[in-house]
Amino acid sequence: MKKLIFSITIISLLSIFKASYAQEFTDVLENKAVNIDGVDYFYVITNESKVKEYNRFEVTISAKNVSGCQLIYINQNKILSFFEGDPSAIARFECINANGKRLTSKGGNLKAKPFYVPYSRTEKTADGKTRTINENIQGGYIFPHGRTISNSFIILTDEGRPRFKVRTQNFTDLTNTAN
């Protein structure tokens, strides 16, 4: 029970100190990273071809955590609409000149991995005894320092190379304060 109360208190305090609101879109140039809050966002064109009336591109979008600490996102329902209802999405890349023909993408999300916190609870059994159940519950999403998250998709443009903008999620910074 103490672990649960401690976990809930920490999560609540972190949520109060730094609200998770999505930012405006930021331009990203091909093969050049843009750093937003300690995360480098970039994209690379891995394949391209010209088909009659459009250009076809295979694109890999990426984010690398260079912040010096793990980035934690504590799920809050008010954020879901920015990233197509996906609470694990940390960023949304939008191609501003993609046409979306032939069921191709106009953008893509980058997703953090879930993290879990231990939780202990007690319950009464049918014979009146009390037993303790230990389980892990999802506390949110984590983007560890030094890790790169990537996603690939195909886009079509009418003319020219794709141009991207990125919208990012704000993370709560947690640092190790143990000595």
Please indicate, yes or no, if residue 77 is contained in any of the structural domains. yes
Please indicate, yes or no, if residue 148 is contained in any of the structural domains. yes
Q: Using one digit for the tens of pLDDT, what is the confidence trace for 145-165?
A: 999 999 999 999 988 899 999
Which residues on adjacent β-strands are paired with residue 138? 116
Please indicate, yes or no, if residue 179 is contained in any of the structural domains. no
Closest-CA residue to 30 (of 172, 157, 178) = 157
Q: Using one digit for the tens of pLDDT, what is the confidence trace for 90-134?
A: 899 999 988 878 778 888 999 999 989 899 999 998 898 999 999
pLDDT band of residue 2 (cuts 50, 70, 90) is: low
d(CA 57, CA 46): 8
- Host domain of residue 138: 2-172
Please indicate, yes or no, if residue 128 is contained in any of the structural domains. yes
Please indicate, yes or no, if residue 178 is contained in any of the structural domains. no
Please indicate, yes or no, if residue 21 is contained in any of the structural domains. yes
d(CA 149, CA 69): 16
pLDDT band of residue 166 (cuts 50, 70, 90) is: very high
pLDDT of 66 above 90: yes
Please indicate, yes or no, if residue 165 is contained in any of the structural domains. yes
d(CA 140, CA 162): 33
60: phi then psi, degrees, rounded to nearest 5: -115, 120
DSSP string, 57-119: EEEEEEEEE-SSSEEEE---GGGGGGGTT-TTEEEEEEETTB--GGG--SEEEEEPEEEEEEE
d(CA 98, CA 108): 12
pTM: 0.74
Domain count, the chain: 1
Quote the tokens at residue 107: 């953008």
Please indicate, yes or no, if residue 98 is contained in any of the structural domains. yes
Q: Taking the CA atoms of the chain, what radius of gyration do you get in angstroms?
A: 21
